[in-house]
A = this chain, B = another copy of it.
């Protein structure tokens, strides 16, 4: 599916920003913060606009959100089969301590865990920290 088709299939309108934004996320091999997104976008947009677009993408299942080590949100395009509000990207994320980048590791699967009696688990994330390929 093209970016345009993807956007349309979720009921979004086709605007310069949203097209560029989704393309950018798809082409990146790592998750980007909003600040990074703003720098890399060719179009000149307001922070609030990017903010709302990213949130809309997440809710629609076009992108998923990861918290980097310091608590800032990073976004990456979803593999493809995510639904509204339900992300099935069951993979780990790697945070580089040197450059701060967040990588998606589709090869690392999430473990099945048992939570204590009374708790009901709905989702899980596996976060790894270390040094990335480029920084080694």
Question: Interface residues, chain A, CB within 8 Å of chain B?
Answer: 67, 71-73, 92, 94, 97, 103, 105, 107-108, 111, 113-133, 136
Contacts and interface: CB of A to CB of B under 8 A. Distances in A.
Q: State the copy count for this chain.
A: 2
A67 B108 CA distance: 21
A123 B129 CA distance: 5
Given A71-B73, A72-B71, A127-B125, A136 B111 contact: no
Contact of A130 (B103, B123, B126, B128): B123
Contact of A107 (B105, B107, B116, B123): B116
Contacts of A126: 111, 113, 124-127
A124 B131 contact: no
